[in-house]
Structure 1
Amino acid sequence: MTILNTREILESEGFRTSPSRNGRILEAAKLFNDAEAGNAYAQARLLEAFTTSDFPGLLGAAFEIEAIHAYRAAEPEWKLYADEFKVTDFKKKRLVDILGRGYFEDVAQGEEYKAAKASEEYRDIQAGKAGKLFGLTWELRKNRDFSDLSDFPTRLANDGIRTANRKVMQAIADATGFKASFFGTVDTKALSADNLDAALNGLGLKENFRGDLVDTSKMVLLHSPGNRAIVRRLLTATEVEFTDGNKKVRLPNPWAGIITPVESKELAATITDTGKRATSWALLPAPGSENPAVAKVTMTGEENVDIRVKRDQGASVGGGDLPVDAGSFNDDTIWYRGRLVTGGAALFADATYASAGA
């Protein structure tokens, strides 16, 4: 019978022999993936690799790369209706709007040019820190439940995206519905062709603090899944039925290329009032507008989820460090931590409309 020399096997593993750290990280991930795929030999090697001091750290780095990739690959909901502004630290940053579309004034021969009045409006934006711990039990590893181990980077990445979505949504809505403190007035009209048309037409005549008409050339219809059917009927129809006095008329869809629907699960999750969560809807200027309404705040250099592992495994009685995957000193759990720096802010409400529905 052939006896495997564990030490020699470990020393020949790619996570030990690769000349670069990135190469060793990739080899650690490859070994883990082979074991997860059911390769018995890889599973035996993986269990031995977990006893070393370097493999858990390399695998943790691979998990972090996977989490960052998952975070970048997913399409955050906030991008569909909010503008992104970047900050460099946790202090409040003042976002000042001082420019307008104004007009030149006539100047007579020999007359001095007239000075323009500089009016300004500002909003404060700020990033904050959020995170969570994810514990993997020592028994989970011993039982070779590798699929559960590999799941957690994606979970942390998805939770990071959900957190960013929530922070942005909380700038304009809470458990009771859309915030009157931002929108000024929250209407109670149901989403219908007539009400949508009236809301958009009303916004087209509104002025901002400079006296300029607001930009309504591209708008977003923000709604929960409960309004899905009516939104599709309104925005995808070739013709829409309107009320004209005492009769109904059908006209070509006036919103094509102007209003983009954004179905928001986060809106439904934020509004817990059961009478409003399914019927609430709002019009917001699309990202890139002259009058941004909602902001996602990102800190430069901290755009992605940061994942770390806790080193609290202690040392063996005989001396020598233990690998992280040996489990914590207190309860054998291996703790990973996800962190995201993000924020949300309500900006300029001049081109916005909100309704709780009916």
Structure 2
Amino acid sequence: MNMSLLEIAESISQETSGTTPASYRRRLEARPGLMETALGMAKLIGHYREGSSRAALEINEALTTSDLAQYASGMLIDREIQQNYPALPTQWPKFLTPTTVKDFKPKYMSELVLGAQVFKDVPERTGYPMAKGPRLAEYPISAKKTGLMYGWSFEARINDDLDQLLMVPNAFPQMAVDTEDDRGLRLLINLETGALNTGFFNAGNGNVGTLKLNPTNLQTVVTSLRTKRDPDTGTIIPSGRLQLVVGYALEAEAERILAAEKLLVSDGNGGYREEPNPLRGKVDLVVNEKQLGESWIVMPKPGTAIRAPFWFAKLRGYESPDFRYKADGGRSMGGGDVVATEGSFDDDTVWFRGRHIMGAAHGDPTLTYGSDNSGV
């Protein structure tokens, strides 16, 4: 649950230990006068969001007359942005296996496959037999820097346009999680059309088709994935926990297929007979809330199979987005720095910036199947 601004203000004095920039900011912020102002501004902003016109007037007066109120407001917005990010729902963890990278260079997700070999008998005073050599498959992934800037203009502040300023705590974290989903989900589908990503689901990978989603076809796909053989040893590759991935268009049909206790099966004489549903409890249904159209995918649940089909990387030490406002207001003629919320020296604008470092990449296609649902 999201913290209120008042709760954020009351917690600012905590967690001040350490050498990180955030801890340093909190030590600067944990001053009695500033804390009192922060609590007051938090209450005012809360009343403003509830529709109080009086609160709007008081906020504007505080922002235009008090350096302390301006600093406290920026401090509250910074903390609200930080706590909003992890609270927002995102789709990619349903499909991609997370990892970290230490820098911006490509990291190779090496799949060292020794196969399903078993130990051999070792007679007395004889040497141990050698295992068969491994097959090495490598899938590169690298993190990239992403970000945006937004400016709250001097004119907007004078015109009491507080909505522009107060939308930043919600808009920037949402942009961060939307970027994660955009990078991750495009590995599976085209987000504009819902079509399968042909760079991964293709004839060369042997994981694409046109089968219509129904009990018989789904059972065929599941059986095929669970019986894939290691090319080196001929033994079955553990498939992990399989999941059926659909968008809203196929959600109801997928639920009927997986939840049914009995299925009608042809008896070969023009009639049907009831049989237990072999898929019930064996396959998870996962709805991709950003998937258009009727394509459907069967793949391992992240973290359950050694051959992960999709990877998502974050830079170690920078796993969360970094949000800042620009403090380049210059110095007043009488001496002393001008607070950031007075606007920049160049154009009087208060600039906010969000940075997020991440990367996504395809892995092993062996345990996947995708269909456009156009067949029979």
Give the TM-score taking structure 2 as reference length. 0.77
State the number of aligned residues: 336
8 Å CA contact 2:258–2:281 kept in 1: the answer is: no
* 1:1-358 alignment runs, 5 A limit: 18-19=31-32, 28-37=41-50, 38=52, 40=54, 43-44=57-58, 47-53=61-67, 55-98=69-112, 100-119=115-134, 120-174=136-190, 177-183=195-201, 184-185=205-206, 186-208=208-230, 210-211=232-233, 212-243=235-266, 245=268, 246-268=270-292, 278-290=293-305, 291-313=307-329, 321-328=337-344, 331-358=347-374
User: Against the structure 1 CA distance between its residues 334 and 75, is the aligned structure 2 distance closer, same or farther, given a 3 Å change threshold?
Assistant: same
Which structure ranks higher in relative contact order (CA pairs < 8 Å, sequence separation ≥ 6)?
Answer: 1
8 Å CA contact 1:67–1:153 kept in 2: the answer is: yes
Cα shift at 1:288: 1.4
Separation in 2, partners of 1:26, 1:342? 35
- Structure 1 spans left out of the alignment, 5+ residues: 1-13, 269-277
Most deviating of 253-262 and 47-56: 47-56
Separation in 1, partners of 2:287, 2:112? 33
RMSD over aligned CA atoms reads: 3.1
Separation in 2, partners of 1:214, 1:20? 64
User: Against the structure 1 CA distance between its residues 123 and 34, is the aligned structure 2 distance closer, same or farther, given a 3 Å change threshold?
Assistant: same
User: Against the structure 1 CA distance between its residues 188 and 71, is the aligned structure 2 distance closer, same or farther, given a 3 Å change threshold?
Assistant: same
Cα shift at 1:53: 4.4
8 Å CA contact 2:260–2:280 kept in 1: the answer is: no
Aligned to 2:25: none
CA deviations on 1:88-136 (whole Å, 9 max, x unpaired) are 2111111222254421122233321111134122211211111122233
The one-letter code of the counterpart of 1:77 is: Q
Separation in 2, partners of 1:253, 1:23? 64
- Matched residue SS, 1:343: strand
User: Against the structure 1 CA distance between its residues 252 and 63, is the aligned structure 2 distance closer, same or farther, given a 3 Å change threshold?
Assistant: farther
Cα shift at 1:24: 6.7
Separation in 2, partners of 1:141, 1:249? 72
Separation in 1, partners of 2:237, 2:39? 52
Cα shift at 1:30: 4.2
Cα shift at 1:190: 1.7
Cα shift at 1:285: 0.2
Cα shift at 1:344: 1.1
User: Against the structure 1 CA distance between its residues 310 and 242, is the aligned structure 2 distance closer, same or farther, given a 3 Å change threshold?
Assistant: farther
CA deviations on 1:194-229 (whole Å, 9 max, x unpaired) are 111111111111124554423334112112222122
- Matched residue SS, 1:266: coil
Give the TM-score taking structure 1 as reference length. 0.81
Most deviating of 144-153 and 113-122: 144-153
CA deviations on 1:29-84 (whole Å, 9 max, x unpaired) are 44533454427368425533455445444433322322222221223211112211
